[in-house]
Structure 1
Amino acid sequence: MMWFIRFLLFALIIFLIYSTIKYLLNPKRKLELAHEQKRYYFLDDQDNVRKNFLITYKGVLFEGEKYLGTTENAFEVISIFIWPRSIASLKGMVREDLQFIERKVSEQYPNAKIDWKSPLKEFMEKGNSPTTPFGDLI
């Protein structure tokens, strides 16, 4: 009986260590932590084209939808639509912030055309100065 209790205790300790490591390495947790700290983090499964990616930058959470198409040599992601999860969180963002996000997405998907959904699309198309905040679009 004593061996059985020791075995259960040992198994419980191994399970707790495994669970802790798995929790600390979870990409969703890293995304949430970066979002809270208003840092940049890109969460994506590049092998799964149907799964949207998430980007957090300066406290704003963006979602991107990938579309597969053909290039000269292969099937690749050729089109990406990006939108904020909450439009109200865009307060204080400037054009350079969105251009930074475009550059980071282009690094992962160099053959993709990046489009923004409204109201970011209208903001990027406006001829305002590069540091103009969103203002009346929110």
Structure 2
Amino acid sequence: MKNVVIEETDTTPRVEFDFAKGLFEFKGLSIPEDTQGFYNPIAQTLEQYGQNPTAKKHHLTFTFLYINTSTSAMVSRILKIFESIQAKGHQVNVVWSFESDDEDMKDLGTYFSSFTNLPFKFIPHEEIV
């Protein structure tokens, strides 16, 4: 599959997928006006990849400054896709990165980790740029 790079905007995160290396990253603010319009093509690409994953190890990184409720639903969908990849015998690791003083984003990551079988690693940072 062709790698994906979507540049960050004022309301959407940077999205970068390197399928051969198994690297999948979301970084920035996610408050799109049309959450479905932004995330559906991303989720569909991941679903297509998930049918026949090529990497043995997958690293899914979320470094959000803030996300709205509708983005949370899409993150759940993305995590389910990676659970199906893991169920096929592929290794999946999730990194939830957040600003060290942002308890809400830390708690949100904990919430996501509570309903998935994917291993989560929580990484606080002084500032996300």
Query: What TM bracket, shorter-length normalisation?
Result: 0.3 to 0.5
Q: Which has the larger radius of gyration?
A: 1
Provide TM-score, normalisation by structure 2. Answer: 0.35
Provide TM-score, normalisation by structure 1. Answer: 0.33
Q: Which has the higher strand share?
A: 2
Higher relative contact order (CA 8 A, sep 6+): 2
